[in-house]
Amino acid sequence: MNILVCVKRVPETGGRVTLSADAREIDTRYLGFTVSPHEECATEEAVRLVEANGGSSTVLTLGPEAAADQLRAAMAIGIDRAILLETDGQDWDPVATAAAIVDAIRAEAAAGVQYDLLLFGNEAADSGDFQVGIRVAIALGLPCINGVKSLEIKDGVATARREAGGGWEVFQVPLPAIVAVREGINLPRYPSVPGRLRAKKKEIERSVPVARQAGAAGPEKIRLSLPAESEGRAEILGTGADAAPAVVDLLERIGVLA
Amino acid sequence: MILTFVEQAAGRPDRSSLEALTFARRLAAAQGVPLGAVLFGPAAEVAAAVLGAYGVVEAHLVEPAGLDAYAPAVWGRSVAQLVGASPPTVVLAAGTDRGQEVLAYAAAMLDAPMAANCIDVRPGEPFEVTRQRWGGSLLEKARLDGPVRLLTVAEHVTQPEEAAVPTTVSISRFTPTLSEADLRVRVIGRVAPEPGKVSLADARVVVGGGRGVGGAEAFSELEELAGLLHGAVGVSRVVTSAGWRPHSQQVGQTGTRIAPDIYIACGISGAIQHIVGCKAAKAILVINTDREAPIMSRAAYAVIGDLHTVVPAVSAEIRRRQAL
Ligand SMILES: Cc1cc2nc3c(=O)[nH]c(=O)nc-3n(C[C@H](O)[C@H](O)[C@H](O)COP(=O)(O)OP(=O)(O)OC[C@H]3O[C@@H](n4cnc5c(N)ncnc54)[C@H](O)[C@@H]3O)c2cc1C
Ligand SMILES: Nc1ncnc2c1ncn2[C@@H]1O[C@H](COP(=O)(O)O)[C@@H](O)[C@H]1O
């Protein structure tokens, strides 16, 4: 079975975020980069499915040249091929991103590569647009299941579950299909040292995506801001075990100690 | 017209949809256009009838032939066809799983843009929205252009508020034209929630553990405190990635959002992706060895110290008082 996973390079922020001078980006001078946890899980799922069923897995990203790092990270845990749709580093909106992914999948098909399963994250970590997978599904005429936390493939049928109201909803679709997964579907493995070395030597297939000319566009980013939060200093109740009576006084005061 | 997708269960509109309707009503007033709603499923008519309190004048009940179960492409197709039938300027939904999904389908089918998790909108040309990124730890101002604009409303930001003057809801039924392809994705079964379990999302007390807990075994200290407080244990992503605890206990952007009366965050530094999951807590009590940890600026209370001494001491103190 042939699987494609789509991932997006995003900054790995920590306790505080600062913005660039024009407030259009996160200031990434001191930050590393990663992909969304949902996409890490999608990658792991692809590797497991190929381990279990045979076939081949491919990772794809639309992003700057540096996004090759995220593709190598995916190959380090066992993804076979990597495709970089290289941009000049500007963000593409979700409509344009989906269109570029569709073009790439069509180009693959023209070259004889058909995918049985396209895996996405439920939403990108940074922009959280909640739509790229669905737009790709509509363009390609494929069924799409979102928010998936458990996936089983058998006899050309995907059975997927997602959380709903404390329980689960079950969906079932024939392949080929799109599945957008959530963190928790699996526990991604750490890359091994030999895995990393292998990934370093592997080729990354590059192309330059063509921006779509007609139809919808956006949302078009104007600028970012940090939400106004009431930042303050915590009242220090004490140090070490000696603070226990003050903590329990507090719990009594707010009424959570029956 | 402005059209809002309203989710309902057993004839009661969901709270998130009432938030979205409140947001939509303000936008409708600013644009001087009427407010409409679209509903699906059994008892939709009962739910539609109460929407006059929120200023809805027109409710469309969608009746896809022979389909009762949730089917995202069918619901998206229905919204898209309603838009085609009487072009609204804006289509809204709550920023829930279904809200995002149904609107994304409708947007893709209409080849229209969609902005997810908006908290504010400035109608006009250009049409500007403010939306959440990074799960709400960052905001984006963006333009949304097109003959029809779709947006979802971030949950828990707008308070649901009834209209000053209730309206009369005129109810109409709509049967969409569907293809085989639309019908492929639908709920074929459900698994009911485990009965009697304190769910993390609803717990009044959450005892949180992060990297500082140090390993899977030491979570027994947190379990004990959570048990004494009839609460739940929540964890950071470091903890789930290490396999110390299951992902179902993760709090944050890619985990659960909690809103307890108190969140006792032990050995957690307070990365923005964790904070977005716990900032709805009424109070945060930090237990951390580092008084400079970023989470300190989000917390009301703190104990400086090793959680392995502080947490058992708090449990012991609770027991001592309970024995009196
Ligand atoms: C896209 C994305 C999504 C993410 N989603 C989530 C998410 O949903 N939830 C989430 O939690 N994270 C998420 N993360 C990860 C997040 O950025 C942080 O890496 C993570 O929250 C850090 O966990 P931590 O606070 O346990 O660990 P650390 O940051 O390592 O902090 C450990 C803390 O423990 C304290 N400590 C150490 N020993 C002790 C002791 N003995 N007693 C008391 N205190 C002690 C230290 O002082 C420190 O403050 C996400 C990251 C990305 C990039
Ligand atoms: N630039 C990109 N390159 C590859 N895949 C992407 C890109 N942006 C989004 N995706 C995929 O689409 C999913 C949903 O993204 P979004 O609709 O932007 O929230 C992500 O989790 C990724 O799997």
CB-CB neighbors (< 8 A) of B293 in chain A: 15
Same fold, B2-183 and B205-323: yes
What is the secondary structure of B271-297 as a DSSP string?
Answer: -HHHHHHHTTSSEEEEEES-TT-GGGG
pLDDT digits (tens, 9 = 90+) for B224-281: 999 999 999 999 999 999 999 999 999 999 999 999 999 999 999 999 999 999 999 9
Report yes or no: B269 at the A interface, CB cutoff 8 Å: yes
B58 phi-psi bin (left φ>0, alpha ψ -120 to 50, beta other): beta
**Which tokens belong to B222?**
């947190």
pLDDT digits (tens, 9 = 90+) for A126-178: 999 999 999 999 999 999 999 999 999 999 999 999 999 889 999 999 999 99
CATH of B205-323, one of 3.40.50.1220, 3.30.980.10, 2.40.128.30, 3.90.850.10: 3.40.50.1220
pLDDT digits (tens, 9 = 90+) for B36-49: 999 999 899 999 99
Q: Evaluate whether A249 touches B317 at the Cβ level (below 8 Å).
A: no
Q: Among all ligands shown, which has an atom nearest to the Cα of B238?
A: 1
Q: How far apart are CA A237 and CA B285, in angstroms?
A: 9
CB-CB neighbors (< 8 A) of A130 in chain B: 100-101, 104, 116-117, 152
User: Does ipTM surpass 0.90 in this model?
Assistant: yes
Domain definitions of chain A by residue range: 2-207
Q: How far apart are CA B123 and CA A102, in angstroms?
A: 32
Cis peptide before A219 (omega within 30 of 0): yes
Taking an 8 Å cut-off on Cβ atoms, the answer to whether B261 and A171 are in contact is: no
User: Which positions of chain A have pLDDT values less than 50?
Assistant: none
Q: How far is B166 from chain A (nearest CA, A)?
A: 30
Report yes or no: B171 at the A interface, CB cutoff 8 Å: no
C-alpha angle B287-B293-B294 in degrees, rounded to nearest 5? 115
8-27 in A: which are within 8 Å (CB) of B?
13-17, 26
CB atoms within 10 A of CB B84: 11
Q: Say yes or no to pLDDT of B84 above 90.
A: no
CB-CB neighbors (< 8 A) of A172 in chain B: 188
Rounded distance from Cα B230 to ligand 2 centre (Å): 39
| pLDDT of res. A215 | 86
Q: How far is B107 from chain A (nearest CA, A)?
A: 8
Using a 10 angstrom Cβ sphere, with 0-12 exposed, 13-18 middle and 19 or more buried, the burial of residue B229 is buried
CA distances from A184 to A159, A250, B30, B35, B256 (A): 16, 34, 42, 39, 11
CB atoms within 10 A of CB B108: 28
CA A8 to chain centroid, in Å, comes to 6
103-132 in A: which are within 8 Å (CB) of B?
123, 125-131
81-100 in B: which are within 8 Å (CB) of A?
97, 100
Q: How far is A225 from chain B (nearest CA, A)?
A: 5
Whose CA is closest to atom 7 on ligand 1?
A: B252
- Using DSSP, how many helices (H) and how many strands (E) does chain B show? 8, 17
| pLDDT of res. A65 | 98
CB atoms within 10 A of CB B39: 23
**Reported CATH class of domain B2-183:** alpha beta
DSSP A66: G
> Could you tell me if the CB of A182 is within 6 A of ligand 2?
no
Report yes or no: A216 at the B interface, CB cutoff 8 Å: yes
- The whole-chain average pLDDT of chain B stands at 96
Within 8 A by CB and 6+ apart from A191, the residues are A73, A76, A77, A199
Residue from the list B108, B111, B262 with its beta carbon closest to the beta carbon of A134 = B108
Collapsing DSSP states into helix, strand and coil, what is residue A153? Answer: strand
Give CATH superfamily name and number for A2-207: HUPs (3.40.50.620)
| pLDDT of res. B86 | 76
